[in-house]
Structure 1
Amino acid sequence: MSTNATTAQSPFDPDKSRIGRVLCFAAHPDDIDFGAAGTVAAWTAAGVEVSYCIMTDGDAGGFDPEQRDEIVRLRSEEQRRAAALVGVTDIHYLHERDGYLEPTHEVIRQVVRLIRQLRPDVVLAMHPERNWNRIQKSHPDHLAVGEAVTRAVYPALENPFAYPELAAAGLEAYKLPWLWLFAGPEERENHFVDVTAQVDRKLAAIHIHVSQHPDVEAMERTVRGLMGQTAERAGLPAGRSAEAFHVVTVNGPGTIAGF
């Protein structure tokens, strides 16, 4: 599958690398919509199967004290509806506590289990490195997602002797081709996707998360501005919008086991 993308020393060539299935990991409902919903919408429109795994229930989110008893149900429903707008219906939850996520072996094992089940071409996740230019991207749960997923994809995912109970249950080791990370430091970005055609769908998905937006107009203005700035960094013409990723080759033509 090919997406309209520009690259800056990216190892990923959209014209040569086929993507048939993608698994996205995020900390909270709405994280994927802010960081990658345009790219997700482009993938699903091209026939790619995309699944989400949300690691926490988002139970510490929102602004209304009256919603505390309903916030988990509310945010789950918001994520379901937002995902549907960009073509995603398969959503998994790890049900970790919002604000307490850590890259423990229990979390990593669950990540390995799900990747081995779905065997995607791309795992997309939040970045394990802090973004000092926009620290709101680097909620501790976001960093924990990145660390847990990165530890999972190498070496545990492809090592049949890591978490042997998974192999015993029929979930065989799997060599992942690509890891795409978002919401990390700008200096790590090496792959840009032109999502100009998907901006309306991305914003519609973000708008679904009404429990998280005390100022909807400011949210939309900020998101549009950031996508424009990303397109500028990518070298796209004025007026375009883009999403940025740090693409890592996990297993490619030159990969040797253990090297």
Structure 2
Amino acid sequence: MSDSTDAKTLPALPDESWTRVLCVVAHPDDMEYGASAAVATWARRGVNVTYLLLTRGEAGMQRPPEEVGPLRAAEQQRACEAVGVKDLIILDHPDGMLMPTLDLRRDIARVVRQVRPQAVVTANFDFEAYGGLNQADHRAAGLATVDAVRDADNTWVFRDLADDEGLPKWHTQWLLVAGHPDATHAMAVDAAAVGAAVGSLECHQAYLADLPGHPKPAEFIPVILAEGGKAAGVGHAVLFKGYDLGGISGAGGADEV
């Protein structure tokens, strides 16, 4: 490998000591576009991975929402099983109308304090993403997650979580954004994890069938992960834009990070 290639190789994610990871996304299937390969790798290593979905994805199909919500929740449960996720939490915020409100931030901060993760993963929430304009819920979910991670580490924000629910503040060391074009870290994944990632998206069978022209997961998930591998100097990898929030929580919390 040439020196110029070495200079471009992304560093490995420093996740060796992690025991708990929380993934926060807007909809069922949002974790399944490559990031679930990292989840499968963590789970196989013994890391406890929790999925927090902010909506049930009930507005994502051409069927009545009261039918779609339970259907998509069931598909997400099967997708979780495909990558070894045992803890799935789905909130009831409205699909298609998600807003980064204080209520949403509180709901996310609550789960951060419950799970006490070393890392929180969310999906790309840039205005432009995935080859076009990013979906509104994705943008709201990512922004609320960033703020909630810091809220969870602040004694004076959402005091009711500690006073009424017995959830003291928690400092998350790493915030990871999957699917970001300016990745800073890579996580190598093997063929088994690639296969699990493909399988996890295939679990969203009814949802994918409702999307005309959507490629089969086996046709593009390995390609995404192989491209990540090129950036990491390995066969396959999941890429993240990582924010190291530091290892020590301040007295006031996130506003001191």
TM-score interval, normalised by the smaller of the two chains? 0.7 to 0.9
Which residue of 2 is the match for residue 3 of structure 1?
none
Q: Are positions 1:157 and 2:155 aligned together?
A: no
Which residue of 1 is the match for residue 184 of structure 2?
190
Which residue of 2 is the match for residue 8 of structure 1?
10
Q: Are positions 1:243 and 2:238 aligned together?
A: yes
Paired with 2:72 and 2:249, the residues of 1 have a C-alpha distance of 42
The answer to whether the Cα contact below 8 Å between 1:82 and 1:206 also exists between their aligned partners in 2 is yes
The answer to whether the Cα contact below 8 Å between 2:97 and 2:137 also exists between their aligned partners in 1 is yes
Which residue of 1 is the match for residue 218 of structure 2?
220
Which residue of 1 is the match for residue 3 of structure 2?
none
Which residue of 1 is the match for residue 58 of structure 2?
59
Paired with 2:66 and 2:142, the residues of 1 have a C-alpha distance of 29
In structure 2, the CA distance between the partners of 1:108 and 1:68, relative to structure 1 (3 Å rule), is closer
Amino acid at match of 1:201: A
Which residue of 2 is the match for residue 115 of structure 1?
112
Paired with 1:178 and 1:7, the residues of 2 have a C-alpha distance of 20
In structure 2, the CA distance between the partners of 1:60 and 1:229, relative to structure 1 (3 Å rule), is same
Secondary structure in structure 2 of the residue aligned to 1:243: strand
Which residue of 2 is the match for residue 90 of structure 1?
87
Which residue of 1 is the match for residue 247 of structure 2?
252
After TM superposition, what 4+ stretches of structure 1 lie above 6 angstroms from structure 2?
253-257
Q: In structure 2, list runs of 5 or more residues that go unmatched.
A: 1-7
Tell me the C-alpha RMSD between the 2 structures: 2.4
Q: Superposed, which structure 2 residues align to 1:2-151 within 5 Å?
A: 8=10, 12-14=13-15, 17-63=16-62, 65=63, 68-132=65-129, 134-135=131-132, 138-151=134-147
Paired with 2:203 and 2:124, the residues of 1 have a C-alpha distance of 24
In structure 2, the CA distance between the partners of 1:212 and 1:106, relative to structure 1 (3 Å rule), is same
Report the alpha carbon displacement of residue 133 of structure 1 after superposing the two structures with TM. 5.7
Amino acid at match of 1:162: V
In structure 2, the CA distance between the partners of 1:107 and 1:133, relative to structure 1 (3 Å rule), is closer
The answer to whether the Cα contact below 8 Å between 1:7 and 1:190 also exists between their aligned partners in 2 is no
Give the % identical residues: 29
Report the alpha carbon displacement of residue 33 of structure 1 after superposing the two structures with TM. 1.7
Q: In structure 1, list runs of 5 or more residues that go unmatched.
A: 1-5
Paired with 2:238 and 2:36, the residues of 1 have a C-alpha distance of 9
Which residue of 1 is the match for residue 4 of structure 2?
none
In structure 2, the CA distance between the partners of 1:47 and 1:158, relative to structure 1 (3 Å rule), is same
Give the TM-score, by structure 1 length. Answer: 0.85
Give the TM-score, by structure 2 length. Answer: 0.85
Amino acid at match of 1:13: P
Report the alpha carbon displacement of residue 135 of structure 1 after superposing the two structures with TM. 2.7
The answer to whether the Cα contact below 8 Å between 2:185 and 2:239 also exists between their aligned partners in 1 is yes
Report the alpha carbon displacement of residue 43 of structure 1 after superposing the two structures with TM. 0.5
Secondary structure in structure 2 of the residue aligned to 1:147: helix
In structure 2, the CA distance between the partners of 1:38 and 1:219, relative to structure 1 (3 Å rule), is closer
Report the alpha carbon displacement of residue 25 of structure 1 after superposing the two structures with TM. 0.5
Paired with 1:69 and 1:105, the residues of 2 have a C-alpha distance of 26
